Amino acid sequence: MASRKNPFLSSFYATFVKELKEASMGSLNYLLIVVLSNVAMALSTFIALFYVGVATNWRVSVPNPLYQIVGLLPLAYSSGILFNLSEAFIGERVNHTLELILSSPCSRAGFVLGKAVASVLLETVRAMMAMAIAATILLLTGLLPPLSLNVNVPSLILSIVLSVLSLYGVGLILAAFGLARREFAYVHSIINTGIFFLSGYMYPVDALPKLIQEILYIFPFAHAMESIRDSIILGATPIQLLPHYTVMVAYTASIPLGLVAFNHIEQRAKTTGKIYEV
């Protein structure tokens, strides 16, 4: 009943349910492709690093394959939120429904947040499935030692929440740019391609050269990767992860900037009936 009276809750609930229904009605083949592609990425990365270790007579250390497996979760957030959030809005535009939504009396914040939360939930499910399959394969082949996790639950929850918020703000700005100008419509795809290298997925960031560490730590991707990994594998406490949390909290400032951009698009949709300037 509250969701019917409150425009924000009503818009959030309607959008959230719509996104989940569309995902559940999607092809099972698509789900398998997404999950298995993540599994293949984790396994191929470990095999490539293993080969580098052999080729260099182990002068180059190979990280525990658990780092690649656990890294699938923050990697899914980094690429999934930035990519799927933009794709969701572009899909609404292609279906000619976005102008109607932005010019209707519904809550834009509820609409945007509903899409974001649904995207995070779907990415979590897909990543967890991929992690389970990859771990099973490596355990059966003897490449992964018996799992010894020291999960710090408060740290993990805080890491996921801050990772999602920091990435959500960046994704919201990219989505707004993609909707405002045609030439920016697919710029998120270019950025999404670089996330694999900017997140420290292949190696723990601390194992990389100092200059590369400084570059990676400018972006929230590496902090999301390191905080989630350390909270699951090492059992790091929130105090130990505070440097990562500080940067991610700073990136949450991009959320109001993204909402301001959407307000601009909303006003254009209301006055002209169009989203693009041209």
pLDDT of residue 1: 45
Q: Categorize the per-residue pLDDT at 28 as very low, low, confident or very high, splitting at 50, 70 and 90.
A: low
Percentage of residues in the chain having pLDDT higher than 70 = 64
CA distance 218 to 226: 13
Calculate mean pLDDT across residues 1-21: 73
Highest-confidence segment of 56-70, 208-222, 240-254: 240-254
Question: Of 200 and 100, which is predicted with more confidence?
Answer: 200
How many Cβ atoms are within 10 Å of 86's Cβ, its own excluded? 27
pTM greater than 0.85 (yes/no) = no
